[in-house]
Structure formats: C-alpha cells, structure tokens
Amino acid sequence: MSSMSLTEMARCLRTSRALQRYLDGEADDLTAARVAAHLEECRRCGLQAQTYRAIKQALRGGNVDELALHRLRAFSGSLTASDPNADDDRW
Ligand SMILES: [Zn+2]
C-alpha cells in the first residue's frame, strides 16, 4: 500500500462507494464523470466495475439461478447414483 498515494486511495474509496449507483445509472453527472475517469486510469477499480457488470448481467439473465439449479440437480443425482451417468462426474 505504500506505493499508493493518499489521494489515490481516497479516489478508489470514493469510486467503489459510487460504483453501484454509477452502474445503475443513478449517479449524478459529476460523480458519473469522476467514476468513469477513474475507471479508465485505475486497473483495480476497472476490474471491480467489470465484475459488478458481469454479476448484474447474470442476475438479469437469470443465469445464476439456472446454474445453481443445475448444480443442485447434479449433486442430488450423484447422491442417489441410480443413474449410471452420475458416476462419471461425481464430486
Ligand atoms: Zn481505483
């Protein structure tokens, strides 16, 4: 952390606080411009924004629940093991 200046750390903190609002399109113009500029220059915050976006996209598409359901089915299948195919990818 010593390589990071106090100003940079304060910017990262402010950015991460405003990030959700920014991605939801709820941040005011000034905040949105500051966040966008910081995401361009800060790799760490840029990655954080990418992660948030991916999560939001997955939630919107319902992929998360489907994946969870699929895992649950695969898991219960491996418990009963009546299906010969279940043995192939047992956890
Ligand atoms: Zn940052």
Q: What is the pLDDT of residues 47-87, one digit of tens each?
A: 999 988 888 888 787 665 666 667 777 767 766 655 555 55
Q: What is the pTM of this model?
A: 0.59
Q: How many CB atoms lie within 10 A of CB 32?
A: 15
CA of 21 to the centre of ligand 1 (A): 16
Cα–Cα dist 16/42, whole Å: 11
pLDDT (mean) for 18-29: 94
Which position has the higher pLDDT, 46 or 80? 46
CA of 11 to the centre of ligand 1 (A): 6
Taking the CA atoms of residue 79, residue 80, residue 82 and residue 83 in that order, the dihedral angle to the nearest 10 degrees is -50
Q: Among residues of the chain, what percentage have pLDDT more than 90?
A: 43
Q: Among residues of the chain, what percentage have pLDDT more than 70?
A: 68
CA of 55 to the centre of ligand 1 (A): 19
